[in-house]
Structure 1
């Protein structure tokens, strides 16, 4: 199947061709006709499946069928609202809207916290057709009376599972109370928990269900590997792998913000360009790091799980788990950022004895064992014993107060 068989308007097909695409991904092939028909949709899709184009393309098509709505003052009204959990994802979704809608007479803007409100207020005064926002800042504007959502015709809730993980359920309910009851609603989630199903029942009206990436599957194109190593030599091993492999565009995951900072500092001292992104970094610093990483000017990006949501880079060659996540599903999310669009990707985990318990949980979840390979010169010390891992005020792992899930400050 080709994009020109899906019923999209020619200006959209032109923009798609310019991006070098001619064949839709499975979620695009299934979702686009559903959205074009005006049906509600519940989409099961992990990061990297092409879901953003799956909803932005038909949304742009539908909005362009009629002229922009104007309010009493002659300003363009918001007709489409896309809600995302993180600033980075909001920025990337709005970039996709602009990329695919470049030949259409539609306007868009992105709205999130961590930056001044006045430029956003000014943009809202000028009027936009499509608004991409994070929940907190959207509600700030609503409370200040700078936002009118009464004309919303299409509402998209992206990465709903992560929204709930981050505690946004009450904000989402507030947003649902503001937007019109009669609208087309699209919900996307990598997993379908009972909470997600309850939310979907409230939001969606007779939705079409599309599930393209079964829960907890890892892509076959990702070469997964574990390097056992002593806990004190992980940083050295990572620097060794990057240098000897001459790696570029390496996304490295840590559990905590301070760990991301320390690792980035160490790599820079080793002559490897690295920056950390997490919730304590300013929006400007996060945007700069992400932009330089995307262009290849920054070889290594060190990220926490939440900060990395929405990092969407075609053909990202290397994802490194400097520390295994204590929530096994996060492993699937992390490594799903490589091996995309038919490209081979590599996911390497540096595992010390403290993390063996997490490795077993991950292998149980993905229903396969991950090949293990000791790097010569970095053999784990024979007498090293497992110790609990401290996460904030909680210890996890062997001897910890909690074995698996940990509640930690948002990253």
Structure 2
């Protein structure tokens, strides 16, 4: 990972570089904060912490960019807590505990994670904190807010709900943090952010952190930051040098086999597995679970409680594989995840950078494996190459002897045809492999027989025939599936009615005896 400071934007000031070996002991933190930091095992600061913390302590606005997993939460939380402790109010009255620091984040998981970190940093202080996000009942959050909190962590949508319900008052906010600002803009939170910022005092400290300094981010910073100090500790859209990256050519029906083989060969304990759709996420998780792997799914259709439980189980080591959509691609701080698998190549090249940022965090080594199955994957890989400015080599995957190949490898590099050379009928569901021995050509089966009328369906009148008859003024033929021999008005019960008794034969007159004329 390289450290650098960007050329300052107009109206901004570059941060003074800090020694890469700076330690937290040099910050002279208040005793409660220093004790909490020591308990958490922090010693040396990461580059973003070493550059941002001294600037935030001075009260200046900051526009910071850094890779995920570089310690941004501590970079803004610790100096804000330090400044707030200088004016800590010991009163227990909720009115005496207004919201003084507001931290906005794009996703529920990230908000919950940052709130937990802030609680750990502030555990030996009297500062109160709370988190509000959507997907769960507002009542417990409302009760927490009514008690009075000084540090509020929130997602924009749920915060606006509480503002409209008058549960949260922001007219005394001194510090606001916009974390993962680029992601908030990507998912359409700009109008919500503008509404929220309109409730805040103009005199405040504003910190904006983003993975990239896109034009939209620069416009946002220009509107709401005052002469910010610009900090960037990694090249925009760079991938961590500690992550070993591989792209393998693997057809869709072999991806699970390749995944299991790599897990076994590398002796990986845990991994993220990313897919592009919620349906694909749920199906893959079920399939891996049936194959004996401890697996859970994390996607947008799961309830907030289910998502939090899945993350908690993964953190505790109770789950080996966490199958995710990009809802989990940013900001989740789970330590020591050894590997990330891109089961699907992401549609957005920037999401590739964020996905593989889940491993190799804070200087640790990691593995990122991507499966390219053909079709549009060639174009998506080319976009990733362009973004990260690195040539990507697609490697053929070598299967173990006990894992036979279904098709010849190298298809990605050789053909790159639409559908990857597969029959479209077979790739409609990427989780379903064609049974061995199945013939490709169309096979016409014998016409099915209607079990009730005992005649082929094709022999029965069709809808278009009925329409033609109707246009000619004739009565329409019977519906498909009903014999034409049955009149439309005839009830079904008539078929089973007992026949009426035959009429009694007319009486035959007794023969008369012959007489002769006499």
Residue 9 of structure 2: aligned partner: none
**Structure 2: distance between partners of 1:73 and 1:42:** 33
User: What secondary structure sits across from 1:259 in the alignment?
Assistant: helix
Q: Please state how far the C-alpha of 1:328 moved relative to its aligned partner.
A: 1.0
**59-68 or 282-291: bigger deviation:** 59-68
Query: Equivalent of 1:124, from 145, 164, 168?
Result: 145
Given that 1:6 and 1:29 are in contact with CA atoms closer than 8 Å, whether structure 2 keeps it comes out as no
Q: Please state how far the C-alpha of 1:75 moved relative to its aligned partner.
A: 4.5
Residue 289 of structure 1: aligned partner: 310
Residue 373 of structure 2: aligned partner: 352
Gaps of 5+ in 1: 390-411
Structure 2 residue 232 is the aligned partner of structure 1 residue 201: no
User: What secondary structure sits across from 1:341 in the alignment?
Assistant: helix
Residue 68 of structure 1: aligned partner: 89
Residue 29 of structure 1: aligned partner: 50
Given that 1:83 and 1:158 are in contact with CA atoms closer than 8 Å, whether structure 2 keeps it comes out as yes
Cα distance change of structure 1 residues 8 and 263 upon mapping to structure 2, 3 Å threshold = same
| Mapping of residues 77-116 of structure 1, within 5 Å | 77-116=98-137
Cα distance change of structure 1 residues 307 and 313 upon mapping to structure 2, 3 Å threshold = closer
Query: Equivalent of 1:387, from 390, 402, 418?
Result: 418
Residue 390 of structure 2: aligned partner: 368
Q: Please state how far the C-alpha of 1:73 moved relative to its aligned partner.
A: 6.3
Aligned length: 389
Q: Please state how far the C-alpha of 1:69 moved relative to its aligned partner.
A: 8.5
Given that 1:71 and 1:77 are in contact with CA atoms closer than 8 Å, whether structure 2 keeps it comes out as no
Given that 1:68 and 1:77 are in contact with CA atoms closer than 8 Å, whether structure 2 keeps it comes out as no
Given that 2:212 and 2:236 are in contact with CA atoms closer than 8 Å, whether structure 1 keeps it comes out as yes
Query: Equivalent of 1:170, from 178, 183, 191?
Result: 191
Given that 1:11 and 1:104 are in contact with CA atoms closer than 8 Å, whether structure 2 keeps it comes out as yes
Residue 465 of structure 2: aligned partner: none
| Mapping of residues 19-58 of structure 1, within 5 Å | 19-58=40-79
Given that 2:97 and 2:149 are in contact with CA atoms closer than 8 Å, whether structure 1 keeps it comes out as yes
Residue 327 of structure 1: aligned partner: 348
Residue 29 of structure 2: aligned partner: 8
Q: Please state how far the C-alpha of 1:275 moved relative to its aligned partner.
A: 0.9
Given that 1:279 and 1:307 are in contact with CA atoms closer than 8 Å, whether structure 2 keeps it comes out as no
Q: Please state how far the C-alpha of 1:369 moved relative to its aligned partner.
A: 2.2
Residue 280 of structure 2: aligned partner: 259
**95-104 or 163-172: bigger deviation:** 95-104
Q: Please state how far the C-alpha of 1:242 moved relative to its aligned partner.
A: 2.3
**Structure 1: distance between partners of 2:92 and 2:184:** 31
Cα distance change of structure 1 residues 74 and 143 upon mapping to structure 2, 3 Å threshold = closer
Cα-Cα RMSD: 1.9
**Structure 2: distance between partners of 1:340 and 1:71:** 40
Cα distance change of structure 1 residues 70 and 135 upon mapping to structure 2, 3 Å threshold = farther
Q: Please state how far the C-alpha of 1:380 moved relative to its aligned partner.
A: 2.7
User: What secondary structure sits across from 1:373 in the alignment?
Assistant: strand
In the superposition, the TM-score normalised over structure 1's length comes to: 0.91
**Structure 2: distance between partners of 1:202 and 1:68:** 32
Residue 155 of structure 2: aligned partner: 134
- Which is higher, the Rg of structure 1 or of structure 2? 2
Gaps of 5+ in 2: 1-21, 400-404, 421-518
Cα distance change of structure 1 residues 171 and 70 upon mapping to structure 2, 3 Å threshold = farther
Query: Equivalent of 1:300, from 303, 307, 321?
Result: 321
**202-211 or 67-76: bigger deviation:** 67-76
Q: Please state how far the C-alpha of 1:329 moved relative to its aligned partner.
A: 1.2
**Structure 2: distance between partners of 1:285 and 1:66:** 39
